[in-house]
Amino acid sequence: MLEGQGGKQQRVQRVFRSIATRYDLLNTLMTFGLHRRWRRASIRLAGGMPEGGSGLDLGCGTGDFLHEMLVSSDNTAVVTGVDFTSEMLAVAQRRFATEIERGIVKLVLGDATDLSFLPDARFDMVTAGFTLRNLADLPRVLGETHRVMKPGGVLVSVEVCRPFRVWLRPLAELYLRFVVPAIATLVAGKIGEYRWLHESLATCPDRYELARMLEAAGYAEVRQVPFGLGVVVGHIARKPC
């Protein structure tokens, strides 16, 4: 059974703290090396990061979406990553040491459910990679991303989402419930740390509900792009000008 919102957040934070140094390897193994390609494709389908633009990544982890936004802008953008796990940010700090020194990458220890420290209409792009499912107050988060985004800006999310295709459903359930935790146990030595991935799907919005939530938050032109045989879905939404 899933915990309440506070308990869920604490559990997710505990999991990421414990696997921070192995997180990139785990993601690569669990997605067969495709997760970075999905992020890159989603940014490209969203029109790319404008040169000299500004980006925000929620739950940035070790910085994969930060990297893709920089690459998309030919390393001219300024990107900010927010994560509530200092251990994950420590990995990102080592990864982006040069970019941090240049001032084009900023890392903030903070909660994605509280973006009150950010000004209105600041960012051209907001990204979230496998993050929205873990947030306690998703409508509030989507409203805040809309607030901090410039008119005409775009939100890009890549997330595990139901419903799965009928023929794939048993395999997806088996993979998420048993194979993913087994990989985490083998690689990170943490028994069952990734069991929450399957459990969290029970209460998170499905792909269609998430699209409706984006529209309710004020976004338009909401698109859904399936990846990984439909188990992973990219959502792309634009703030009207």
Phi-psi label, residue 3: left if phi above 0, alpha if psi -120 to 50, beta otherwise: beta
Position 200 scores a pLDDT of 65
Contacts 24+ apart (CB under 8 A), 27-34: 27/64, 29/183, 29/187, 30/180, 30/183, 30/194, 31/228, 31/232, 34/227, 34/228
> What mean pLDDT is predicted for residues 117-142?
93
Q: Are 89 and 115 in contact (CB under 8 A)?
A: no
At 4, is the pLDDT very low, low, confident or very high (cuts 50, 70, 90)?
Answer: very low
> What span, in angstroms and rounded, lies between the C-alpha atoms of 114 and 135?
11
Per-residue model confidence as pLDDT tens digits over 223-235:
999 998 888 999 9
Position 2 scores a pLDDT of 36
- Judged by DSSP in three states, 85 sits in coil
Per-residue model confidence as pLDDT tens digits over 49-69:
999 999 999 999 999 999 999
Position 96 scores a pLDDT of 98
Higher pLDDT, 147 or 111: 147
Residue 9 has pLDDT above 80, yes or no: no
Residue 1 has pLDDT above 50, yes or no: no
Residue 51: how many other CB atoms lie within 10 Å: 11
Residue 202 has pLDDT above 90, yes or no: no
Beta strands in the chain (DSSP E): 54-58, 78-83, 105-109, 123-129, 149-160, 220-227, 232-238
Residue 166 has pLDDT above 70, yes or no: yes
**What domains appear along the chain, each with residue ranges and CATH number?**
5-238 (3.40.50.150)
